[in-house]
Structure formats: structure tokens, C-alpha cells
Chain A
Amino acid sequence: STVVLVFQAQVPKSPNDKDPEFSFCVKRGERIRVGEALGRWRE
């Protein structure tokens, strides 16, 4: 079985925008478990 997540996350509207930016913290082929971070958003 497979789970597909599709979600909207903040991205800065322009390069010098201070909006938080989402980025993944995983790699392809990596094993992951429930509750472990897939991605974080930082100022």
C-alpha cells in the first residue's frame, strides 16, 4: 500500500521576503516511521 500527501506550505513570495520557508528533511529511498519529521518550515 502507498500513502500520498499533497499539502500547501508557506513559501516566501520574494527572495528577500521574511515569510517562513518549508523544506523537506528526508531523502528518496529512506525508511521513515510515524511521527518522524518529513519537513520543517523556518523563518
Chain B
Amino acid sequence: TTSVRRLQTTFQARAFSSNGGSEGSQGNPFLVPGATAATILMLGALHVRRMYNDKKIEEARERGIELEFQPDAKAAFLRLLPLRSISRLWGSLTSVELPVWLRPHVYRAWSRAFHSNLEEAALPLEEYASLQEFFVRTLKEGSRPIDPDPQCLVSPVDGTILRFGELKGVRPMIDQVKGFSYSVSALLGASSVLPLVAEGNAHEGSSEEGKIPTEKSKKTWWRISLASPKVRDPVYVSPIRGIFYCVIYLKPGDYHRVHSPVDWNVLVRRHFSGHLFPLNERATRTIKNLYVENERVVLEGRWEGGFMAMAAIGATNVGSIKLFIEPDLKTNLPVRKLLHSRQPEERVYEPEGVGMMLKKGNEVAAFNMG
């Protein structure tokens, strides 16, 4: 900027002297190009700096160094932005119908920018009326074969494995990034039937195996589920053995439909209308409780191995989650502050205790823009 400013002053001095000093005061012909140049220079500098930072992160990761949790000013600034409104504005922009001739160019540009695989799209590009329709595209038959092994649990989405492991320790926590972890009970909801053991009576058989609410336990079940978290007795509870987790991140260019990981019965659906922070790598390193604060839909139920829950978490650019098993669920709604309750909106699927039966590989939901 200083060099541009020096350029401007020399230009101004030259313009002033060449016009005999009288007309030199007319609009400076170099002002606009100078400002434009300064802006381009600044954007270029920011981009170079961001690429340098990304390269540093990549090198650290290759050396096996994991960057720690480190909140920064940008994360604090993000909290001030109306991210839900921005997300809905983005949704209305991407739902604009494109002229047929323009569609292939837009979708090719998108797939070049975000490494999507256009060959797999089920329809010709001209058939997707808007970017939003393209984003939630289905794939050609046979593009995602389901692993035939009957003793395996499959990935519900395309994406990158961020974390996986067994829940251990005093309370069920999952690392968001090295140096910060979030509570599984907060992620799934206070009324989750995640099988836990109250500290002190961790001997076999006493663990709450996440029973399906029978007549007797139903009242307690409802009492707990209707009670706000603080009503539950504040004892430390730890997960029984054999509770596992897996966190999968979907990039903007990935296929964004969600499938069933096993054959299971979905008993309950919980919708948390939270924030819509971005969920990229930088956000996970700088924003606390990202997965617990963002808008999300949790499906909970049982499979042959016992308890099963799947949380689909939205982000600023992908704020909506559509459930094929419950088409009338609406997410990413304009939430007026007073209605912004922390309690999830919950639905028990009929018939109670049996819920919705899903086969391994069935389509369950889809993320969408806005």
C-alpha cells in the first residue's frame, strides 16, 4: 500500500505540473486505478498468507504434528456474524434457476474448485436446474457398492475420517482437536439413552444398557427426557465398554447424501436448531464446542450390536438437513432469539419401541445448501 501511495503522489505531482498547476485539481485520473490496484494487492497478499498458513499446516500434519486448539480473533468475530441469515441468503442464491446453456459451465467450475466427480452424477448436467439441485445430486446406480461382509459397519457418507475410537474415561467425550474435547451427551442430547454407568457401580450387569422404554421404565425414560439436563442427578457417568465413535467430515465437493451404516431401528429423532459456524479444519481448531453448538439432527436407535446414534451436523454453507424418513422436518429456519431454546425438538417414531426400520445402505438424509 505504501508503494501504491508513493506511485499516486508521483502521478499527482506529474499531473499537477503538466497541467500548469491550474487544472491539476480536476478529478485525479489515477485515483480509481490506484484504489483498485491497492485492493487487488491487498487481496493477493491475504491469499498468499492463507496459502502459506495452509502449507504450514500440511507440513505439520505430514510430520505427524497435530495442531492444538487455539481460539483466535476470527473465531470471536464469527460469533458476532448473523451466520444463519448468511446461510439462508446463500441458500436462496444457490436455488436460483440457471439457464440451461449455463448449467454445465457452472457445475464444471464448481467441481473444478471443489474436486467433485461429475462422471458419477446420475443425470446429465443440464438437468440440474440450480446449484442447490446439483449439490444434492444422486449418483449413478452402482457408484457406491455396499461392503458385502455381514459383520461390518459401513460409512454412511463420503468424506474424510477425522476421528474414531472407543469412548473411555470418566465421561463420554470426543476430541474435537488436540487440546479440546466435547461431551457426547451434549452432542446427542440430555435425553439420549447412550448406555452409561454411574460411577461407583461399574460392575457387570448394572449398566443401563440403553433399554428400549418398557412400560415400567417408560415413565422414568420420559421423566429424564422431559427433564432439563440440570434435573438429572449430577453423578459422573462413564460409558460401558464397547461404545465406539467415528467423525467424518464432508468437503463442499463431496456427495452429500447420508446412508444407513447398518440394519437398525431408528427410535427417536432430535433436531437442535443451533448456530451455523463453518466446520472446516480451521474452525475445528479455533471454535469451542463446534459440533455441540451447530444446527444438527440426531437419529438414535438400536441395532444388533446395541445402541446406535448418528448426528448430521450442518455448517454455514450447508445449513439444511433433509430427512427422507421424515420429509416434513424443516431445519435452518429463521429462529427468533426468544425461541432460541437449547432444548432439542424431539420425535419418537411409531410404533414406539420399534420405530423406523432401515437397511444397511438405505438413503436416510441429505445435506443441502442454505
Chain A residues close to B by CB (< 8 Å): 1-11, 13, 20, 22, 24-42
Contacts and interface: CB of A to CB of B under 8 A. Distances in A.
B162 A6 contact: no
A39 B164 CA distance: 10
A3 B306 CA distance: 20
Interface string B153-180: 1111111111111010000001000000
Contact of B305 (A9, A27, A29, A31): A9
B310 A37 contact: no
Nearest to A41: B151
A9 to B, nearest CB: 4
A38 B164 contact: yes
Interface residues on B, range: 35 or more
A37 B249 contact: no
A1 B317 CA distance: 8
Given A6-B188, A6-B243, A35-B144, A40 B152 contact: yes
Given A10-B305, A38-B153, A3 B248 contact: yes
A34 B117 CA distance: 14
A27 B204 CA distance: 32
A28 B164 CA distance: 8
A27 B164 CA distance: 8
Given A9-B305, A11-B241, A28-B162, A35 B250 contact: no
Contact of B308 (A7, A24, A29, A33): A7
A9 B244 contact: yes
Contacts of A24: 164-165, 244, 246
Interface string B162-204: 1111010000001000000000100110000011000000001
B158 A5 contact: no
A27 B311 contact: no
Contacts of B306: 7-9
Contacts of A4: 174, 187, 245-248, 291, 310-311, 313
Interface of B: 61, 144-147, 149, 151-165, 167, 174, 184, 187-188, 194-195, 204, 210, 240-250, 255-259, 261-262, 279, 291, 303, 305-315, 318, 361, 367
Nearest to A30: B161
B244 A35 contact: no
A13 B192 CA distance: 24
A11 B311 CA distance: 23
A13 B204 CA distance: 9
Contacts of A32: 155, 158-161, 248
Contacts of B279: 1-2
Contacts of B291: 2, 4
Contact of B154 (A28, A29, A35): A35
Contact of B367 (A1, A6, A10, A25): A1
Contacts of B255: 33-34
Given A4-B311, A38-B155, 12 more contacts: A2-B247, A2-B279, A3-B311, A4-B174, A4-B313, A8-B244, A13-B204, A24-B164, A26-B164, A35-B147, A38-B152, A38-B246
A7 B144 contact: no
A34 B147 contact: no
B21 to A, nearest CB: 62
12 contacts: A2-B248, A3-B313, A4-B187, A5-B246, A8-B210, A9-B153, A22-B244, A24-B164, A30-B161, A31-B161, A34-B259, A42-B151
A36 B161 contact: no
A3 to B, nearest CB: 5
Contacts of B241: 11
Report which residue of A5, A6, A35, A37 has the largest number of chain B beta carbons within 10 angstroms of its beta carbon. Answer: A6
A40 to B, nearest CB: 4
Contact of A5 (B210, B257, B309): B309
